[in-house]
């Protein structure tokens, strides 16, 4: 769904992806008045969010009975374009849903810092870092979003592999993939990169098996060394998986949401880098892959010194626009949208790993148990640290790497220039 979430980006732009379902609804709505707040999101039209929003609105109504709330579900594919128009006009919704990371950080000029309003929620909620810039917090986290590597235990059984012992090194992983394909006909990895999102998930998931913990920390802190052999190794690995035919067919023409996930669900691929919340995650997969047959593994070690971990951040969260008429009232709505009772419903109905660390997830199945256990050692997803501009470029370059029309050195050189330009 990392800063201690999340997909977020989901994605980043994807991370959000993490909750990339689009909901039909009014595409524009003026901001609220003294007695009304307008909320923009892409979730409120979804049935799985109904109970969550009902509880959040009830909590807010107890505090502000004279203030009405209007939710406007925008189509996700156009969400940030529509929001950009509102920001340029200096008017629009009072409360705004964001993916954690670059999508929020690129727009903090239009948001109010919330630190003075959310101090009481700091310990209860995780994922704050994804909604922070310059030491200030601009949104309250709703979900945690990250990128577990899911695998199909049934395929492991059929291939004669031990589903309780997934590969821990890259050579072992490649060998297992060959066995899986030979004995079951399934590809190793389900990959969708039509929108350029696949590379984001790959960077964050498999990157933890390449970079050392110190390199990961430096990357997240903005001290990215694009000349590092380990950084280049990640993008070389991306190309190698294609050249070795580990990926599902037609990755550059396959949409991640939700075609790539469908490949995994239909047992045509043994592994997929998915999400923790919203879509492409444990609850989604349970319709076709029973909970007891769904495994979660950390990335295999590719380079010595790497310590694979679960990449996750704040997934999605609500911020307050600078033009809202009463910031405290709008911030109270954010607090209601991140309240425990509301988030319990979001977890139960949507399968979201909520940002609220007090929620009991013990009945969610073994995959959820593994994910939650791995949160303690997890680190922010690598792609979430990049700007939306650099992520867009990375998506295009990743497609060229898969097609063989650009070299790893040239791709990394362009990414370094974009990242350093800010």
Query: Stretch 342-352: mean pLDDT, rounded?
Result: 94
Q: Which two tokens stand for residue 19?
A: 């909750």
**Model confidence band, residue 21 (pLDDT cutoffs 50, 70, 90):** very low
Distance of CA 177 to the CA centre of its chain: 26
**Helix %, strand %, coil % of the chain (to 5):** 45, 15, 40
pLDDT at site 279: 85
Separation of alpha carbons 166 and 19, rounded Å: 28
Among residues of the chain, what percentage have pLDDT more than 70? Answer: 92
**Model confidence band, residue 363 (pLDDT cutoffs 50, 70, 90):** confident
Q: Which helix (H) or strand (E) holds 306?
A: none
pLDDT at site 362: 85
Q: Phi/psi class of residue 270: alpha, beta or left (left: φ > 0; alpha: ψ in -120 to 50)?
A: alpha
Question: Whole-model pTM?
Answer: 0.82
DSSP secondary structure code for residue 300 in this structure: P
* Res 102 pLDDT > 90: no
Nearest by Cα to 103 from 201, 16, 223, 216: 16
Separation of alpha carbons 129 and 363, rounded Å: 28
**Model confidence band, residue 3 (pLDDT cutoffs 50, 70, 90):** very low
Nearest by Cα to 60 from 49, 69, 72: 69
**Model confidence band, residue 364 (pLDDT cutoffs 50, 70, 90):** confident
pLDDT at site 29: 54
**Model confidence band, residue 34 (pLDDT cutoffs 50, 70, 90):** low
pLDDT at site 131: 96
Separation of alpha carbons 24 and 302, rounded Å: 43
Q: Domain 149-309+386-421: what homologous superfamily?
A: Periplasmic binding protein-like II (3.40.190.10)
* Res 31 pLDDT > 80: no
Query: Stretch 200-218: mean pLDDT, rounded?
Result: 98
Query: Stretch 94-116: mean pLDDT, rounded?
Result: 96
pLDDT 10s digits, 111-156: 999 999 999 999 999 999 999 999 999 999 999 999 999 999 999 9
pLDDT at site 6: 31
Separation of alpha carbons 336 and 157, rounded Å: 45
| Residue ranges with strand state E in 4-80 | 36-41, 68-73
Nearest by Cα to 96 from 346, 333, 376, 350: 333
Please name every residue paired with 136 in a beta bridge, in sequence order, or none if there are none.
133
Q: What is the dihedral of CA 275, 280, 281, 282, to 10 degrees?
A: -150
pLDDT at site 32: 62
| Residue ranges with strand state E in 42-94 | 68-73
pLDDT 10s digits, 292-337: 999 999 999 999 999 999 999 999 999 999 999 999 999 999 999 9
Separation of alpha carbons 28 and 74, rounded Å: 8
Instruction: For domain 36-143+314-365, give its CATH number from 3.40.630.30, 3.40.190.10, 2.40.160.50, 3.50.30.30.
Output: 3.40.190.10
* Res 277 pLDDT > 70: yes
Separation of alpha carbons 11 and 350, rounded Å: 17
Domain 36-143+314-365 and domain 149-309+386-421 have a common topology: yes
Q: Which residues contact 62 (CB under 8 A, 6 or more apart)?
A: none
pLDDT at site 84: 97
Are the C-beta atoms of 293 and 364 separated by less than 8 Å? no
Separation of alpha carbons 414 and 188, rounded Å: 30
Separation of alpha carbons 134 and 139, rounded Å: 13
Separation of alpha carbons 18 and 280, rounded Å: 8
| Residue ranges with strand state E in 76-177 | 95-99, 132-133, 136-137, 140-141, 144-146, 149-152
**Model confidence band, residue 1 (pLDDT cutoffs 50, 70, 90):** very low
**Model confidence band, residue 8 (pLDDT cutoffs 50, 70, 90):** very low
* Res 159 pLDDT > 60: yes
pLDDT at site 18: 36
Where are the chain's structural domains? 36-143+314-365, 149-309+386-421
**Model confidence band, residue 28 (pLDDT cutoffs 50, 70, 90):** very low
């Amino acid at each position: 769904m990392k800063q201690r979430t999340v997909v977020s980006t989901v994605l980043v732009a994807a991370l959000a992806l993490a909750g990339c379902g689009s909901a039909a609804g009014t595409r524009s709505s003026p901001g609220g008045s003294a007695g009304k707040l307008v909320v923009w999101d892409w979730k409120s039209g979804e049935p799985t969010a109904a109970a969550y929003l009902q509880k959040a609105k009830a909590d807010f109504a107890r505090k502000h009975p004279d203030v009405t709330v209007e939710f406007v579900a925008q189509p996700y594919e156009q969400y940030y374009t529509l929001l950009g128009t509102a920001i340029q006009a200096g008017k629009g919704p009072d409360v705004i849903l964001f993916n954690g990371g670059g999508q929020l950080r690129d727009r903090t000029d239009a948001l109010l810092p919330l630190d003075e309003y959310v101090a009481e929620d700091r310990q209860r909620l995780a994922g704050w870092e994804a909604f922070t810039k310059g030491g200030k917090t601009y949104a309250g986290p709703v979900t945690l979003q990250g990128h577990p590597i899911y695998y199909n235990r049934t395929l492991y059984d059929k291939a004669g592999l031990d589903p309780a012992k997934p590969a821990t090194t890259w050579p072992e992983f490649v060998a297992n993939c060959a066995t899986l394909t030979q004995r079951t006909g399934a590809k190793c990895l389900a990959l969708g990169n039509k929108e350029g999102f696949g590379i984001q998930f790959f960077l964050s998931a498999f990157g933890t098996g390449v970079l050392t913990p110190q390199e990961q920390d430096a990357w997240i802190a903005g001290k990215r060394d694009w000349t590092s052999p380990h950084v280049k190794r990640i993008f070389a690995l991306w190309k190698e998986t294609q050249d070795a035919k580990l990926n599902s067919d037609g990755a550059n023409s396959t949409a991640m949401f939700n075609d790539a996930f469908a490949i995994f669900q239909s047992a045509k691929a043994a592994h997929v880098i998915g999400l923790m919340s919203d879509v492409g995650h444990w609850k989604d997969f349970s319709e076709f892959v029973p909970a007891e047959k769904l495994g979660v593994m950390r990335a295999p070690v590719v380079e010595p010194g790497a310590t694979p971990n679960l990449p996750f951040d704040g997934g999605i969260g609500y911020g307050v626009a600078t033009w809202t008429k009463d910031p405290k009232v709008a911030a109270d709505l954010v607090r209601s949208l991140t309240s425990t009772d509301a988030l319990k419903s979001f977890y139960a109905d949507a399968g979201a790993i909520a940002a609220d660390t007090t929620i009991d997830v013990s009945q969610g199945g073994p995959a959820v148990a593994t994910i939650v256990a791995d949160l303690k050692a997890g680190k922010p997803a690598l792609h979430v640290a990049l700007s939306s501009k650099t992520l867009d470029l990375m998506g295009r370059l990743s497609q060229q790497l898969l097609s063989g029309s650009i070299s790893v050195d040239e791709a990394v050189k362009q990414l370094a220039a974009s990242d350093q330009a800010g």
